[in-house]
Amino acid sequence: MNATEPRARVTRPGRRRAGLAGTSVAAGLGALASALAVGGWTLSATVFGGLDTSYPVAPTLAAGAAIGALLAHWRGERDSPVLAVLAVALGVAGAWLGWSGGRPLGGIAVRPWWGVASALVSMALAAHLTRYGLRGMALSRLGRVELETLLLRIVRAAGFTFFSVIVVFPFYFMVASSLKSRAEMLQRPTFLGVDLRQRLADLLVGYREVLTTFHFGRFILNSTLVAVVTVAITLVLAILGAYAVTRLRFRGRELLSRSILLIYMFPAIVLVVPLYSVFTQLGLRDTLPGLLIVYPATTLPVALYMLRSYFRTLPSDLEEAGLIDGCSRLGVIWRVTLPLSLPALASVGLYVFMIAWNEFLFAFMFLDSPAIFTLSRGMVSLNSQEVPRQFLMAGAVIVTVPIMILFFWFERYLVAGLTAGGVKG
């Protein structure tokens, strides 16, 4: 599992038999590789192709074991050449095709070439995975290190598959189901391919409805306004505060800078009941200014903390030079400190933007008038029996896409911000 693989052992040239142990290990690896390859292929055929396939476990494992054993037999101590791997895959695929009568994946093969393609692709994949799993390994001498390395390679492959699926699949599902009507989803819930033959207007009906009938266009503006103003307020206050904490001497400074993050541990739900009461009586509930008081308060502590950590890394000589030259403190902050800390400001700003954009609880509790809904609050109003799920998912895509674009655009800054601050979760 570690980054460094064991160094390839120096082996004598020439072929040495893999032996019974080596062959069985390779066969086991092949079986697992085949299970992964066939599983991935069947799953994508079902989900993206809408095809009626099944997952024949025993033949899959048998074919994989055959591949593993054959590769072990021929490879000796060296990695098999790619062409040999493909030949083995071709042979096993042919055998499987013949044995299953042209339907290796069971079910109803739509066309004969489909069965052939399935067997070839999945077996080639399985064979290649097996080869990759055995790379640089001496099968004739399997010790603890080799076995563990092999085990870790298997775990890694499983891990990559697992994480890719759990991370990508829900988001793919979000997009795909925003393009499908309720009838389509009920009829074939396993099919998530997008039928591109229909008219674009029909495909995007969910988005059109959500943006017009359900006023998401306005909610986007509201969310943007709220997030941008929150970022501005937070940055201004956090810059002043962080500068004071790092550069100025005053009593209680240590205590203060240590207790900043403690604020972070306060549950939002505990704040909601009294804030709801007080804001209702003050007439601040159901107003955007009300929200704009709460949001900076929840982001300020961590923004201050992050900026403080950054300011500490800046040399204070430049600032002192500025002070001696007759600049005021604010002038020094504006002319010297801020230009030096642009990357940190970007990190903090993006991070605060993300929190404000994603915020749900306070928007949900405070906002009643659709005219000032943020996107999160607007989503709640979509979540009802009368509104098709398709629209809800279109709304989800609309909420998610801006933050994702921002994230990928500025990933470097955002990751820096996340790690520096330890985002409130």
Site for another protein in 336-395 (CB under 8 A): 354, 357-358, 360-361, 365, 375-376, 379-380, 383, 389, 392-393, 395
Stretch that binds another protein, among 194-202, 209-217, 340-348, 414-422 (CB under 8 A): 414-422
Chosen residue from 281, 317, 325, 386 binding another protein by CB under 8 A: 281
**Contacts (CB under 8 A) with another protein, residues 123-142:** none
Task: Encode the chain in three state secondary structure.
Answer: CCCCCCCCCCCCCCCCCCHHHHHHHHHHHHHHHHHHHHHHHHHHHHHCCCCCCCCCHHHHHHHHHHHHHHHHHHHCCCCCCHHHHHHHHHHHHHHHHHHHCCCCCCCCCCCHHHHHHHHHHHHHHHHHHHHHHCCCCCCCCCCHHHHHHHHHHHHHHHHHHHHHHHHHHHHHHHHHHCCCCHHHHHHCCCCCCCCCCCCHHHHCHHHHHHHHCCCHHHHHHHHHHHHHHHHHHHHHHHHHHHHHHHHCCCCCHHHHHHHHHHHHHCCHHHHHHHHHHHHHHHCCCCCHHHHHHHHHHHHHHHHHHHHHHHHHHCCCHHHHHHHHCCCCHHHHHHHHHHHHCHHHHHHHHHHHHHHHHHCCHHHHHHCCCHHHCCHHHHHHHHCCCCCCHHHHHHHHHHHHHHHHHHHHHCHHHHHHHHHHHCCCC
- Taking the C-alpha atoms of residue 236 and residue 243, their distance in angstroms, rounded to an integer, is 11
Beta carbon nearer to another protein, 76 or 376: 376
Nearer Cβ to another protein, position 95 or 220? 220
Q: Which of 111, 144, 197, 199 binds another protein (CB under 8 A)?
A: 144
Q: Which stretch binds another protein (CB under 8 A): 14-22, 62-70, 243-251, 313-321?
A: 243-251
Q: Is 418 in the site for another protein (CB under 8 A)?
A: yes
What is the rounded distance in angstroms from the CA atom of residue 133 to the CA atom of residue 78?
13
Among residue numbers 48 through 77, which ones bind another protein (CB under 8 A)? 54-55
- Residue 155 or 321: the one with the smaller Cβ distance to another protein is 155
Q: Is 228 in the site for another protein (CB under 8 A)?
A: no
Among 44, 212, 277, 369, binds another protein (CB under 8 A): 277
- Taking the least distance from each CB to another protein, the nearer of 98 and 161 is 161
Piece of the chain touching another protein by CB under 8 A; list 3-11, 97-105, 312-320, 334-342? 3-11
Site for another protein in 92-111 (CB under 8 A): none
Closer CB to another protein, 117 or 240, in the complex: 240
Work out whether 329 is an interface residue with another protein (CB under 8 A): yes
- Least distance to another protein, CB of residue 8, Å: 13
34-69 burial code (b ≥16 CB/10 A, e <16):
bbbbbebbbeebbbeeebebebbeebbbbbbbbbbb
Extract the tokens encoding 386. 């009368």
Q: Which of 8, 266, 342, 371 binds another protein (CB under 8 A)?
A: 266
Q: Is 25 in the site for another protein (CB under 8 A)?
A: no
One character per residue 155-184, x = contact with another protein (rule: CB under 8 A) = -x--xx--xx-xxx-xx-xx--x----x--
Which of residues 35, 47, 229, 340 is near another protein by CB under 8 A?
47
For another protein (CB under 8 A), the number of binding residues is: 108
- Closer residue to another protein, CB minimum distance, 79 or 184: 184
Q: Does 43 bind another protein (CB under 8 A)?
A: yes
- Residue 213 vs 259, nearer CB to another protein: 259
Q: Does 117 bind another protein (CB under 8 A)?
A: no
Out of 213, 280, 313, 369, the only residue in the binding site for another protein (CB under 8 A) is: 280
